[in-house]
Amino acid sequence: MKNRTFKFLFGILSVTLLVSLMFLGKTYWEIYGFRGWKKEVWLLSSCTATTQALADFKKGNLRLLRIEGENDKLRFSGQREGPFEIWIVQYFPILGKAHKYSTEQYVDYYNRKMRYMYDHPEKFQTDAEKPNGEN
């Protein structure tokens, strides 16, 4: 009788272990796999930064962003780099690895887009801004 109970308990625990490992593997794949959080953050940060840089450029705000420790709002650093003002982005180190990665990606894409638009302003004029309605 004890042998039968032991086999039954062993079978239940084995199945439970396998199911738990499957869930763990699925979770690991979602976090670090092909569609992991870094790829999602990279996509969203790059899109948001590019859109913001384009809006700032069209308003005539030539700025570059920098991360300098904990900061609760976007603020001017008082420094310039050529034609660009240097601004400090909102950043909270206590929020961890994902927030740091997201902020770094945002700053990188924003700065690259702003420099590119500054170097090629003719590509970013609207039809209303072009002389004689040129296309």
Comparison of pLDDT for 121 and 32, the residue scoring more: 121
**Residues 100-118: tens digit of each pLDDT:** 989 999 999 999 999 999 9
DSSP 120: -
Q: Spell 91-102 as b/e; 16+ CB within 10 A means b.
A: beeeeeeeeeeb
The pLDDT of residue 88 is 94
Structure tokens at 102: 């997201």
Tell me if residue 118 falls in helix, strand or coil. Answer: helix
A 10 A CB-CB count for 72 gives 8
A 10 A CB-CB count for 129 gives 9
**Residues 45-59: tens digit of each pLDDT:** 999 999 999 999 999
Q: CA 97 to CA 9: how far, in whole Å?
A: 41
Q: Considering only 6-10, 39-43, 61-65, which range has the smallest mean pLDDT?
A: 39-43
**How much is the pTM?**
0.69
90 falls in which pLDDT band (50, 70, 90)?
Answer: very high
The pLDDT of residue 54 is 93
Region 97-102: what's the mean pLDDT?
A: 87
Query: Does pLDDT of 130 surpass 60?
Result: no
The residue behind tokens 């920098």 is 66
Query: Does pLDDT of 37 surpass 60?
Result: yes
The pLDDT of residue 33 is 65
Q: CA 106 to CA 91: how far, in whole Å?
A: 11
Query: Does pLDDT of 74 surpass 60?
Result: yes
CA torsion, ordered 70, 76, 80, 82, to nearest 10 deg = 110
Query: Does pLDDT of 16 surpass 80?
Result: yes
DSSP-assigned beta bridge partners for residue 63: 85
